[in-house]
Amino acid sequence: MATPPPPHGPHPYAQPYGPPPVGSHPPPPTAPHPQQPADAHPQPPVGPYDPRPGQPPPYPYDRQPPLHPHPYPHPQPYAADPGCRLCGARPAVQATVRGHQGLFLLMRFLSRSGMFCRSCGLATYREMSANTLWQGWWSPLSVAITPVTLLMNLGPRSRFRKLAAPVGGFGPSLDPGRSLLRRPVALLFLVPMALVVLAIPTLFVLGAFVEGAGIGQSPTLAIGDCVRNEGDWKDQDLEIVDCGSADAEYKVTRRLNTSKDVCADGELLADLTYSPDRMTISCLAPAR
């Protein structure tokens, strides 16, 4: 009669909590931990593992894995957003606001960079732009640099206005105050600019009026007119006067229409600007 195979396991007939079977070898003693005294008792395993008889634990007793591998097992809500640099509120955006000062022969380029919330960003933009409006014109190059600086600040301003209202933070947010065009310093810039804009068409109108009225133009001399020269003969300034008055110095006697025509002896030549076609020369004889 065949003998049945024994049950599985190294000690099939051992009691679960009794002494080890005869002939079995006890497990070798483990070396004490470097920081643990030699006579100290080994610590029970830490963790969710519950050892069973005859099965070694997955980790040595002195090398149990930590319960939480990361000191912050749950993600922090604002770990990626440092907040506003002035008040700590969120949401915030990275931006650079610029300013300019003209100091006659010197210039100063100003800037503030960092994370800004909506309120602090608008307050910084309006303050630096308002100061630039009245401080940025007092040097030759600043006349061109100041408009460029104001245009560059429009980019950060647009980013600030897209943010939601700031929340949280370690302090109160800055007050944006009045808009840039409603501040008194902006009027110091807008009033002169408005005068310049109005002066340009005014000058065109005055120029057309002066040209139509003949003001400032040289008079056209006709034969028989008497003139008085207010300048020298290299830079003539002839003015038509009454021939019977004491101011009459010269009288127009003829025009040189061809290259063969010449003035008589003792006569002077009038400038071409006083002829009708600006091409012929008039002869001027002394009136007395």
**Length of the chain in terms of residues written:** 288
Q: Which amino acid is at 159?
A: R
Q: pTM for the complete prediction?
A: 0.47
143, two tokens:
């006349």
pLDDT score, position 211: 57
Q: Dump pLDDT digits (tens) for 220-243.
A: 888 888 998 888 777 788 888 888
Q: What is the pLDDT of residue 219?
A: 82
CA distance 282 to 257: 9
Full pLDDT tens readout for the chain, 288 residues: 556 665 555 555 555 555 555 555 555 555 555 555 555 555 555 545 555 666 666 655 555 555 555 555 554 444 456 899 999 999 999 999 999 999 888 999 999 999 999 999 999 999 999 999 989 888 889 989 999 999 999 999 999 999 999 999 999 999 999 998 888 887 777 776 677 678 788 877 776 665 555 455 678 888 888 998 888 777 788 888 888 888 888 888 888 888 788 888 888 888 888 888 778 888 988 887
The full 3-state SS of the chain, as one line of letters, equals: CCCCCCCCCCCCCCCCCCCCCCCCCCCCCCCCCCCCCCCCCCCCCCCCCCCCCCCCCCCCHHHCCCCCCCCCCCCCCCCCCCCCCCCCCECCEEEEEEEEEEECCEEEEEEEEEEECHHHHHHHHHHHHHHHHHHCCCCCCHHHHHHHHHHHCHHHHHHHHCCCCCECCCCCCCCCCCCHHHCHHHHHHHHHHHHHHHHHHHHHHHHHHHHHHCCCCCCCCCCCCEEEECCCCCCCCEEEECCCCCCCCEEEEEEECCCCCCCCCCCEECCHHHCCCCCCEEEEEECC
- The confidence score (pLDDT) of residue 101 equals 94
Residue 142 contacts residue 107 (beta carbons within 8 Å) = yes
